[in-house]
Chain A
Amino acid sequence: MIVTLKKEVLDPQGKVVSQTLKNMGYDNITNVRQGKHFDIELNETDKEKAKKAVEEICKKLLSNVVIEDYTINLK
């Protein structure tokens, strides 16, 4: 799963990365947002159940819904 700051929340680290890329000559960069990536292994065969469990984990611990969005990719 990937956790990123919501669009309306300032991401100063992303801003610095974006500016640095521009300084390095990557003129076509328009925006960078920094986030977190979690690999979670579950002992669950039912895809729906797994998704539900991970969603709960996202809401309760891995993201703070006040400032962050999350996306889940099941494999």
Chain B
Amino acid sequence: MKSSVIVFPGSNCDRDIAVALEKFQIKNQMIWHNDASLPKSDLVVLPGGFSYGDYLRTGCIASKSKILDDVIKHAKNGGLLLGICNGFQILTETGLLPGVLLRNKKLRFLSKNVFLKVINFNNRFCHNYKKKDTIELPIAHNEGNYFANEKEIKKLEDNDLIAFKYSDKEGNINENTNPNGSSQNIAGILNNKKNILGMMPHPERLIDPLLSGEDGSLMFESLIKS
């Protein structure tokens, strides 16, 4: 399997995701945002960070980068595309995923581990989570408050496109288990074809017992098995 991680000025999780991909024998290349073309890849990752210092709106300037034309083509042709944190924000700004990520409800930067209930297992990113009721992953963001109008939320629900919701360890989903004010506790969503996943939590940060957990590994194992 071949992957490309797109690097923007201000990306800061690009090397973490590269380490994670390589750990699972995915052949990865780092691609600068201003490059004219994307090398042949099975998976493209938009990493976390603060691309362009979050100027204007988070992910907005990055979504207009040169390489994004090819990334969008890759996704429209059915290629896998994963946006983590700032990557998710970029995906909503390109319009590949609906909605937008607003500032956290309590206006605080959040950096902690959260529990997630996996809502959709039937996609190439998540099928390994079938055996788990809930998973634990870190979040680290200031704008993770997922918002979409009622019609869009209903579409996500009706088409089973919500991948993860913030929950407690037992899988209860309510206001108390919602760290940032997201609509319906949404932490990650898929596109209709389920080849694009945008998520605020960081799977690349939990890929080894030395990093206190391996719930992130399951996603990369899902990807190489599929």
Query: Which residues of A line the B interface, CB within 8 A?
Result: 8-10, 12-13, 16, 61-62, 64, 66-67
Say yes or no: is B204 at the interface (Cβ < 8 Å to chain A): no
B106 touches A12 (CB 8 A): yes
Chain B 83-127: CB-based contact to A (< 8 A → 1; otherwise 0):
000000000110000111011011100000000000000000000
Q: Find out whether the CB atom of B57 lies under 8 angstroms from the CB atom of A64.
A: yes
- The answer to whether B147 touches A62, judged by C-beta atoms less than 8 angstroms apart, is no
| Interface residues of B, Cβ cutoff 8 Å to A | 56-57, 60, 64, 92-93, 98-100, 102-103, 105-107, 147-149, 181
CB nearest neighbor in B for A16: B107
Q: Please name all residues of chain B whose beta carbon is closer than 8 Å to the beta carbon of A13 when the two chains form the complex.
A: 103, 107
Q: How far is the CA of A49 from the CA of B105 in the complex (A)?
A: 40
Q: Which residues of B contact A67 (CB under 8 A)?
A: 100, 102, 147
> CA A62 – CA B99 in complex, angstroms?
17
- Residue among A8, A62, A66 with the most chain B CB within 10 A? A66
Whether A61 contacts B147 by the Cβ 8 Å rule is no
Cβ A12 vs Cβ B105 within 8 A: yes
